[in-house]
Amino acid sequence: MIEILIISGKGGTGKTSLAAAFAHLAKNHVICDLDVDAPDMHLILNPENTIKTDFVSGHEAVIDPDKCDACGKCLEMCQYGAVNETDSIFSIDPLKCEGCKVCVEFCPVNAIDFPEKHCGSWYHSDTRFGPMIHAQLFPGEENSGLLVSLLRKEAKELAKQKGLDLILSDGTPGIGCPVIASLSGVTLAVIVTEPTPSGRHDMERVAELCGHFNIPAGIIINKCDLNEKESAAIEAYGHEKGFTLFGKLPHDPIITRAMINAQAITEYSDNEFAKQVAEIWDRIIHVATPIK
Ligand code: SF4
Ligand code: SF4
């Protein structure tokens, strides 16, 4: 089973536009959107959800006002400032509660419930490019690394069930917990970057992360003609560190037009830009496929 992860180090590089084009070009694959904090593949792929499952993770404290005798112990003990008191009425702010359970343990009248927390939902879906696994966390919810691991496991099981041999995932920007959860054990990471100082800086950070976990990685320089000096610096960095340069793509307004039409670039057009994207995909698959 081949697992290819598209990442970027920072947002706004065109990662998801290219991931959607690769999802269009790929064969025998499951699509997986691991950008669980701000997913957007669904805007292009228009998935039809076949299974919806609640994502439950951690706990939250909830005061039962009928049992509370307003002793104030929970306010005193909470280190996160999550307990509020107004006119001797105590309540807990769910956005501040870290689920540490201290208040539950110290409440003298057992007035604090500690239910599991519903943090979002995840889905099995059908799309015109193939089956898809994806999710949506509720705003402000955490544990996205846990959800990423769950989605990857589901994508692998689905691929096995359907006899598919490729998982193509759109990852999260940055280098935080969800990116680390996305990276571990993948066949190949494809880093989409842009020729700006922040693009190069964040690309280097995520490339170092790939190196740290011994994940083979390569680079796509998107909008390469915006700043040729930065573009050359990214190319030189990749060369020095041994990362494959999968390709350089110029800035092309076709990306925006394809987006407006909710289509992948390669689906929307067969112009020179789309052909370059297809050539890059061929290189990626060539590098990711084990030699028999
Ligand atoms: S510790 Fe329990 S009884 Fe005391 S204020 Fe908090 S919820 Fe109410
Ligand atoms: S569970 Fe912990 S963080 Fe949440 S209100 Fe109680 S003491 Fe504060």
Closest atom of ligand 1 to 103 CA is 1
Q: Is 92 in the pocket of ligand 1 (CB under 6 A)?
A: no
Find the range with the poorest average confidence among 91-105, 114-128, 169-183, 201-215: 169-183
Atom of ligand 2 nearest to the CA of 83: 5
Closest to 167 (Cα-Cα) out of 175, 158, 180, 179: 158
d(CA 110, CA 232): 64
* DSSP line for 162-216: HT--EEEEE--SSSSHHHHHHHTT-SEEEEEE-SSHHHHHHHHHHHHHHHHTT--
pLDDT value, residue 224: 94
- Distance, in Å, from the CA atom of 5 to the CA atom of 127, rounded to the nearest integer, reads 19
The whole-number pLDDT of residue 71 equals: 97
pLDDT tens figures, 252-266: 999 999 999 999 999
Average pLDDT over residues 37-46: 91
8-state DSSP, 226: G
Please tell me the number of the ligand nearest to residue 77's CA.
2
**Residue 210 scores a pLDDT above 70:** yes
Mean pLDDT over residues 276-282, rounded?
97
Q: Is 100 in the pocket of ligand 2 (CB under 6 A)?
A: yes
Architecture of 2-57+120-288 per CATH? Answer: 3-Layer(aba) Sandwich (3.40)
Dump pLDDT digits (tens) for 144-190. Answer: 788 999 999 999 999 999 999 999 999 988 888 889 999 989 999 99
2-57+120-288 against 61-114: fold identical:
no
Structure confidence at residue 60 (pLDDT): 93
Q: Domain coordinates of the chain in residue numbers?
A: 2-57+120-288, 61-114
Read off the pLDDT band of 292 (50, 70, 90). low
Query: What is the arithmetic mean of pLDDT over 90-95?
Result: 94
Percent of the chain with pLDDT over 70: 99
Taking 70 as the threshold, does the pLDDT of residue 197 lie above it? yes
- Residue 291 pLDDT greater than 80, yes or no: no
User: In 3D, which of 275, 60, 284, 36 has the Cα closest to residue 171?
Assistant: 36
Mean pLDDT of the chain: 93
Asked whether 220 lines ligand 2 (CB < 6 A), one says: no
Domain 61-114 fold: Alpha-Beta Plaits (3.30.70)
> Structure tokens of 269?
């057009």
Percent of the residues in the chain that have a pLDDT greater than 90, as a whole number: 82
- Beta carbon of 288 within 6 Å of any ligand 1 atom: no
| Per-residue confidence (pLDDT) for residue 163, from 0 to 100 | 97
